[in-house]
């Protein structure tokens, strides 16, 4: 039988969660029911007659933009990855241009000393493609699998290849236990990262670099309801206006997407108190 852990890595919004959800067939929660705990079990486990693949999603790995901190995160991450993971799936989105953040992901991927697969996601979208910008990756990473996570296209050959590359073991080393992610992310960082993903999803390309998300409070109001207070900070009032949107529609939308995902991840009802603030100094205040 084949057993192993696969690191799923890629910029926010390339489709990592969609891939896991659609491969495993139901909505997978990637975190534990307790937002207070500092470690979140991973629940993305794919099983069939060949064995078991544990997918390790990576929200938060690339969350911090300022360099000293991200270097630090990357060093710790790298060490854990190299001890813990059998294979890396590096996912890209050919409909978005390569940017600074992609560079960071690639930098991390390059440092990992494990077999790698390049997954080109969203091949159902053909019109606007930046594929030429990613061509060089195919030289570097020899195994390339174009897929559509959304439409579940070409997932099978990818899974076949993953099984082929995983180690053969007599039985699962993780059966029945919780699997933990690579980083000891605290709940606030994790939730901030989920909200940041939604900012990414719903705003243009420019805004996410001008914003950050701070989670001020997580309170379990009851067994079922968790209260979360968070702020999106941006560098000037123009961005603030865009983030709030006409009649507050944008921020509501961001909040509602984020709430859904946090609820899924924690199996709780979430009350999300989300505001936008202008703070031209957020970079210095929070990341230096
Ligand atoms: P993550 O941040 O990497 O986990 O990305 P998500 O899984 O949250 O996906 C981000 C967005 O891309 C969502 O709106 C998805 O519906 C969309 N998406 C993901 N995979 C595909 C795909 O294969 N095709 C298309 N057209 N959209 C996709
Ligand atoms: Mg995700």
Could you report the per-residue pLDDT of 100-125, keeping only the tens digit for each? 878 888 988 998 899 999 999 999 99
CA of 120 to the centre of ligand 1 (A): 12
DSSP-derived letter for residue 270 is E
Q: What is the DSSP string of 97-149?
A: ---HHHHHHHHHHHH--S-EEEEEE-TT--SS--HHHHHHHHHHS-EEEE-BT
Say whether pLDDT at 175 is over 80: no
Mean pLDDT for 170-198 is: 68
Using CB atoms within 10 A of its CB, is residue 131 exposed (0-12), middle (13-18) or buried (19+)? middle
pLDDT recorded at residue 253: 95
Mean pLDDT for 169-197 is: 68
List residues bridging with 48 in a β-sheet.
Answer: 51
- Is 22's C-beta closer than 6 angstroms to any atom of ligand 1? no
> Which protein residue's CA is at the shortest distance from atom 25 of ligand 1?
122
pLDDT recorded at residue 27: 52
Mean pLDDT for 16-41 is: 58
Asked whether the beta carbons of 243 and 253 are under 8 A apart, the reply is no
pLDDT recorded at residue 263: 82
Q: Tell me how far CA of residue 253 lies from CA of 150, 165, 244, 274, in angstroms.
A: 21, 41, 9, 11
HSE value, Cβ hemisphere, 13 Å, CA-based, for 78: 15
- Is 196's C-beta closer than 6 angstroms to any atom of ligand 1? no
Specify the CATH number of the domain 2-165: 3.40.50.300
CA of 202 to the centre of ligand 1 (A): 12
* CATH class given for the domain over 187-286: alpha beta
- Is 140's C-beta closer than 6 angstroms to any atom of ligand 1? no
φ, ψ for residue 203 (rounded to 5)? -110, 170
Say whether pLDDT at 237 is over 60: yes
pLDDT recorded at residue 224: 82
Summary mean pLDDT of the chain: 81
Please identify, by atom number, the ligand 1 atom nearest to the C-alpha of residue 149.
23
Say whether pLDDT at 255 is over 90: yes
Q: 162: closest CA among 140, 147, 177?
A: 147
Band of residue 288 on the pLDDT scale cut at 50, 70, 90: low
Identify which ligand lies nearest to the alpha carbon of 124. 1
- Is 179's C-beta closer than 6 angstroms to any atom of ligand 1? no
> Which protein residue's CA is at the shortest distance from atom 11 of ligand 1?
13
pLDDT recorded at residue 86: 93
Say whether pLDDT at 199 is over 80: yes
Identify which ligand lies nearest to the alpha carbon of 105. 1
- Is 13's C-beta closer than 6 angstroms to any atom of ligand 1? yes
Band of residue 69 on the pLDDT scale cut at 50, 70, 90: very low
pTM value is 0.70
Say whether pLDDT at 73 is over 70: no
Both tokens of residue 176? Answer: 């029945």
Parse the chain into domains and list their residue ranges.
Answer: 2-165, 187-286
Mean pLDDT for 146-168 is: 96
- Is 86's C-beta closer than 6 angstroms to any atom of ligand 1? no
Question: Are 2-165 and 187-286 equal in CATH topology?
Answer: no
Using CB atoms within 10 A of its CB, is residue 100 exposed (0-12), middle (13-18) or buried (19+)? exposed
- Is 21's C-beta closer than 6 angstroms to any atom of ligand 1? no
Say whether pLDDT at 51 is over 80: yes
């Amino acid at each position: 039988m084949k057993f192993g852990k696969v690191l799923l890595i890629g910029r926010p919004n390339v489709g990592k969660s969609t891939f896991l959800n659609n491969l495993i067939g139901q909505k997978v929660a990637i975190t534990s029911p307790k937002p207070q705990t500092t470690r979140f079990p991973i629940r993305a486990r794919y099983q069939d007659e060949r064995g078991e693949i544990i997918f390790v999603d990576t929200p938060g790995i690339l969350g911090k933009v300022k360099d000293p901190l991200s270097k630090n995160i990357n060093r710790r991450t790298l060490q854990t990855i190299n001890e813990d993971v059998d294979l890396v799936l590096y996912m890209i989105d050919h409909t978005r241009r390569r940017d600074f953040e992609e560079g960071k992901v690639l930098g991390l991927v390059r440092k990992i000393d494990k077999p790698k697969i390049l997954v080109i996601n969203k091949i159902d979208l053909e019109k606007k493609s930046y594929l030429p910008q990613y061509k060089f990756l195919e030289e570097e990473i020899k195994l390339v699998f174009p897929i559509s996570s959304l439409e579940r296209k070409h997932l099978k050959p990818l899974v076949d290849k993953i099984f082929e590359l995983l180690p053969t073991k007599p039985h699962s080393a993780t059966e029945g236990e919780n699997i933990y992610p690579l980083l000891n992310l605290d709940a606030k960082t994790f939730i901030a990262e989920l909200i940041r993903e939604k900012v990414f999803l719903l705003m243009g390309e420019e805004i996410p670099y001008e914003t950050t998300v701070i989670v001020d409070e997580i309170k379990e109001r009851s067994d079922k309801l968790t209260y979360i207070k968070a702020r999106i900070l941006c560098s000037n009032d123009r961005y603030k206006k865009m983030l709030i949107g006409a009649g507050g529609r944008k921020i509501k939308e961001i909040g509602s997407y984020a709430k859904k995902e946090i609820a899924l991840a924690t199996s709780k009802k979430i009350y999300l108190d989300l505001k936008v603030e202008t703070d031209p100094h957020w970079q210095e205040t929070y990341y230096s």
